[in-house]
Amino acid sequence: MKPPKPLSRPDNVSLFKYFRLFRQDILSAQPARLYRAWMAEFKTPFFRSFMINQPDLVRTVLKDRPDDFPKSGRVAEGLKPLLGNSVFLTNGEIWKRQRRIIDPAFEGGRLKDTFPAMWDAAEACVARLHRSEGQAIEIEEETSHAAADVIFRTLFSIPIEHEVAAQVFNRFREYQRSAPILNLAALVPLPRWMPRLFRKGTRSNARVIRGLIQQLTAERMEQIRDGSAPNDLATKIMTTRDPLTGEGFDTEEMADQVAIFFLAGHETSASALAWALYLLAIYPDWQEKLAQEAAALGSSDFSVMSKLRLSRDVFREALRLYPPVPMMVRQATCPEQFRDRKVPEGSQLVISPWHLHRHERLWDRPDDFDPGRWGTENGKQCQRDAYIPFSAGSRVCTGAGFAMVEGPLILSMILREFRIEPVQGREPVPIAHLTVRSKDGIWLKLTKRQV
């Protein structure tokens, strides 16, 4: 059985039909030839867009010359209501200042410090799953709950059941359903005075979420002032000063950053974890291997992660087949020549982990689920040249290491307790909302393992 992928559109469609397909699902709006192309061009009356899959071009844009290819402002149009001026959307000196303040919270021993909170969230997830044992359940809802719990425990030292945390989580689920990865402004340059065409509920949910986050950050600011703040990620970030300017984040700026931590750390982890569980459900041999490995889990000490090699490879493979962020958009700040094409200044450069990770000229059996590939020469080469689930270069996701602990840990703790089966007749179809999700959910059946 092959892991599911979206249907591709025909190579030639009208601009109107492309816009309609794009609005429904950005993945199935793309032609199948992109899984073989090194570069492709898309022209509209408003701008020119180039998708690049050739590894050396991707490296040029993301690693070698990132300042020449900043994030496109078109992406910010769709996410600004929630993310404000967060590190995910900013460029230039503002972005560099934000990273100088944020990065220390995720360095060195901080992963070890946050591990007990991850463990507690994983145990709480397993306890919730026991209540649905033997029933068909939509697993994305469960992984969303677990990932949100991890974020709140590690960031603010509160569980998901906390009143404000629960409100943020519930509102975010509504926001996720209404917000596409890109809105119309990503395709059509609208003047500033023209209202942006967001789907119903997107703006109102974003406003409520930001209000709740500002409440949490204001309370933490007060705790920091009176010396009662816990030593968690929020405290670390809010007390860190930019080494160049001596300034830190104010409450509004911190709310921007918490919003992206929640989006990047919760939404992306939930997506990858749900797909990983589905893949193990349809590949029971790998499921049993992970269950045997997970049986060795003991105390909630960070050292257990060294025993979860197979779980890490499975999670890595799920990120390859279903990268949570399927496309990244950069903008050329000067004229370029890529391959045999002229790339005008202002052009949009699309780097698609979705296509790069399944590229037929790079990967052996690109559409197959094979966690063992990471030990092969092809897998090692592609991991260096064509694997970017967390982006790459200076803008690589700050929480990449965090995710590669959280995901394998929760996966292992679930597999230690349960056998997983797919629900017949409910095969998932991947589409892109804020992240790569399933059109009608991912349905699984869990039964308790016999000791």
- List pLDDT tens digits, range 272-284: 999 999 999 999 9
Domain ranges of the chain: 15-448
Which among 287, 247, 300 has a CA at the least distance from the CA of 120? 300
Residue with the larger pLDDT of the pair 392 and 199: 392
Please, which pLDDT band fits residue 266 given cuts at 50, 70 and 90? confident
CATH code of domain 15-448: 1.10.630.10
Look at residue 338 and give its three-state secondary structure.
strand
Look at residue 49 and give its three-state secondary structure.
strand
pLDDT value at 188 more than 50: no
- CA 169, CA 171: separation in Å to the nearest integer? 6
Q: Based on C-alpha coordinates, what's the Rg of the chain? A: 21
How many CB atoms sit inside 10 A of residue 428's CB? 23
- CA 371, CA 350: separation in Å to the nearest integer? 27
Residue 338: the pLDDT is: 95
Please, which pLDDT band fits residue 263 given cuts at 50, 70 and 90? confident
- CA 441, CA 426: separation in Å to the nearest integer? 9
Residue with the larger pLDDT of the pair 265 and 276: 276
Residue 89: the pLDDT is: 84
Structure tokens at 405: 């602990």
pTM: 0.90
Residue 284: the pLDDT is: 95
- pLDDT per residue over 168-179, tens digit each? 888 887 776 655
- On average, the pLDDT of the chain sits at 86
Residue 27: the pLDDT is: 75
Residues 165, 444, 131, CA angle at the centre, nearest 5°? 55
Residue 76: the pLDDT is: 64
Percent of the residues in the chain that have a pLDDT greater than 70, as a whole number: 86
Residue 196: the pLDDT is: 43
Angle between helices 73-83 and 202-226 (to 10 degrees): 60
- pLDDT per residue over 42-72, tens digit each? 876 667 889 999 999 999 999 999 999 998 8
Structure tokens at 437: 């999700």
Which residue type, as a one-letter code, is found at position 77?
Answer: E
